């Protein structure tokens, strides 16, 4: 009689954030670190005086335990999305103290001044309106994996560059309805607050971000093209939050689809079309040594 094969239990992945005043961020960090280590969580949480943000993974029981703890700690309006990964998506568990839970570099008031939320089911109709300017607030490497049709790509390398992009394009946006989106919604809490602070009045953003859209909107009705970059070992996800087909370049961090992996500049663990000219021969040699060690460990 053949032995029964028990499939591996997938990791539950939880992406969360909430802007809420934290009186003692260091104390909250200590409690979260102890809880995460005791329950076997992996991933990263960011704690600041303005709230909490992060993506973690673990057993269903561990994720439920974290969620219960945060509710009792006063985070009763968490923007939270769960998905699954068949493999451990993070190497370790970290809780970091920072000045901001998502770094814009300018003071804004997301708890009182953010733009109007648009639910995932209403997003298609909004972005189909020719009078609406749709802005992707993510970094350029994230946009390379997928985006909404017709969206403006600011071509930024970090969210801190967004205010400068806005200054340079304020005239083009003046008098328009501006709809913004990001991966899970947190960056839009600040970007829409910034627009409203600068005098824009008709500002909207996708509640729950791309992840909520891909979870709720059927693929046959979707206006999303490509996959969504996520900050864990899955690299990208698609509709239904199924794990995507991209791999990450371990030299520059860009998500690579099939075409990029077929490019002559692609060498696993060493280079891709996006970074092959940016690293020296010595750096490439070091990357090859690293890749050989990785292959040996995992062979």
Alpha-carbon distance 294 to 47, whole Å? 33
Ranges of each domain in the chain: 11-97, 116-226, 248-298
The pLDDT, as a whole number, for residue 52 is 98
Active site residue 182: yes
For residue range 53-70, list pLDDT tens digits in order: 999 999 999 999 999 999
Predicted TM-score of the model (pTM): 0.88
**Per-residue confidence in pLDDT tens, the chain, 299 aa:** 455 444 456 899 999 999 999 999 999 999 999 999 999 999 999 999 999 999 999 999 999 999 999 999 999 999 999 999 989 999 999 999 999 999 999 999 999 999 999 999 999 999 999 999 999 999 999 999 999 999 999 999 999 999 999 999 999 999 999 999 999 999 999 999 999 999 999 999 999 999 999 999 999 999 999 999 999 989 999 999 999 999 999 889 999 999 999 999 999 999 999 999 999 999 999 999 999 887 877 76
- pLDDT for position 123: 98
Q: Tell me yes or no: is domain 11-97 CATH 3.40.50.720.
A: no
**What value, to the nearest 5°, has the Cα angle with vertex 100 and ends 142 and 80?**
60
* pLDDT score of 298: 72
**pLDDT recorded at residue 157:** 95
Is 177 exposed, middle or buried (CB count within 10 Å of its CB: 0-12, 13-18, 19+)? middle
Q: Place domain 116-226 in its CATH homologous superfamily.
A: Rhodanese-like domain (3.40.250.10)
Among 182, 188, 249, 272, the active-site one is 182
pLDDT score, position 1: 47
* pLDDT for 9: 62
DSSP result, the chain: -PPPPPPPPPEEEEEEEEE---S-HHHHHHHHHHHHHHHT-EEEEEEETTEEEEEEEE-HHHHHHHHHHHHHTT-TT-EEEEEEESS---SSEEEEE-S-SS--SS---HHHH--EEE-HHHHHHHHH-TTEEEEE-SBHHHHTTEEETT-B---BSSGGGHHHHHHHHHHHHTTSEEEEE-SSSHHHHHHHHHHHHTT---EEEETTHHHHHHHHS-GGG--EEE-EE-SSTT-EE-GGG-B-S-EE-TTT--EE-HHHHTSTT-BTTTB-TTTTTTS-HHHHHHHHHHHHHHHHHT-
CA dihedral (49, 54, 57, 63) positive or negative: positive
Task: Give the model's pLDDT for residue 4.
Answer: 47
């Amino acid at each position: 009689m053949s032995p029964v094969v028990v499939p591996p239990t997938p990791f539950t992945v939880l992406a969360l954030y909430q802007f809420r005043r934290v009186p003692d961020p260091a104390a909250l960090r200590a409690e979260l670190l102890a809880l995460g280590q005791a329950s076997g969580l992996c991933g990263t949480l960011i704690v600041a005086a303005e709230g909490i943000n992060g993506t973690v993974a673990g057993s269903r029981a561990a994720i439920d335990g974290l969620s219960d703890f945060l509710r009792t700690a006063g985070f009763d309006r968490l923007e939270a999305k769960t998905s699954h990964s068949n493999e451990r998506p993070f190497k370790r568990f970290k809780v970091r103290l920072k000045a901001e839970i998502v770094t814009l570099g300018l003071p804004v008031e997301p708890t009182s001044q953010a733009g109007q939320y648009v639910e995932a089911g209403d997003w298609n109709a909004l972005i189909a309106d020719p009078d609406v300017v749709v802005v992707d607030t993510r970094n350029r490497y994230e946009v390379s994996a997928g985006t909404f049709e017709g969206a403006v790509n600011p071509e930024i390398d970090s969210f801190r560059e967004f205010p400068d992009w806005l200054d340079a394009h304020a005239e083009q946006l003046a008098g328009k309805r501006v709809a913004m989106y990001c991966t899970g919604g947190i960056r839009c809490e600040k970007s829409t607050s910034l627009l409203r602070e600068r005098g824009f009045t008709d500002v909207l953003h996708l509640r729950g971000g791309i992840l909520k859209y891909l979870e709720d909107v059927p693929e046959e009705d979707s206006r999303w093209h490509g996959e969504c970059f996520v900050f864990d070992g899955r690299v990208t996800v698609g509709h239904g939050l199924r794990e995507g087909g991209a791999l990450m370049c371990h030299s520059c961090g860009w998500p690579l689809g099939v075409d990029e992996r077929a490019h002559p500049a692609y060498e696993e663990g060493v280079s891709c079309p996006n970074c092959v000219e940016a690293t020296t021969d010595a750096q490439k040699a070091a990357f090859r040594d690293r890749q050989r060690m990785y292959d040996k460990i995992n062979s």
